[in-house]
Amino acid sequence: MKRYIFLAILAFFTTGCIPKYVDQKPSQPISKAPKVSVPSQPEVQVEKVSVIEEVIEEQKKSTSYKVTMKTKKFSFSDTGFLVNYEKSMHLNVLAMGKSVLDLKIKKNEDDICVGSLCNTKHGFNQSFLVGSYPDDFIENILQKKPIFSGKNLTKTATGFVQQLISDEYKIKYQVTNKGLYFKDKKSNILIKLRELK
């Protein structure tokens, strides 16, 4: 029996089943994982332009007025600021530090807003003025332009005057270098802007 165990051990050693340890250093060092270079993204230069700066760039002119308005929905006479932008205009009238009128008009478009309520220009005329007024009426008034396509216009030394009479209105509209005056006697509508210096 001992003989069989001895032969089994001898066969085990001679067949190489026991791992052989080599006391040598490897010929090449084990390399670390290769470094992968990721191409860096080009720096994106973000130009910081605030909303205020964009508005100032777009703004053409800001003028302060003594604004008097008497219409179907409101009546006041206070200081206002008319700001003309390239594509819109904004009239804000203040009384004791509070806004009594916040009117925003998009030029050459059909949008007009009083505060947060927006309407078409025709709808604005029906609600606040007279429905038979042209859609561009208030836009032209605030820009000191002729109304009703320049009908009955008479030029003056400092501007112009229009007098218009129909079954629905009796209008006197005068523009000078200091402001404007609009009165419709039939509808009892008054708009005056006197420039403040």
Q: Where are the domains of the chain?
A: 53-195
> Per-block average pLDDT, block size 10, for the chain (197 residues)?
55 52 51 54 50 52 92 91 92 90 90 92 93 94 94 96 95 95 96 92
Looking at the whole model, is its pTM more than 0.75?
A: no
Q: Are 112 and 118 in contact (CB under 8 A)?
A: yes
pLDDT number for residue 22: 47
H/E stretch holding 121 reads helix 121-128
Beta bridge partners of 131: none
CA 178 to chain centroid:
30
For domain 53-195, give the CATH superfamily.
Lipoprotein localisation LolA/LolB/LppX (2.50.20.10)
Token pair for residue 81?
């600021």
Taking the CA atoms of 6, 7, 10 and 15 in sequence, report the sign of the dihedral they define: negative
pLDDT number for residue 96: 86
181-195 pLDDT per residue, tens: 999 999 999 999 999
pLDDT number for residue 46: 47
pLDDT number for residue 62: 87
pLDDT number for residue 139: 93
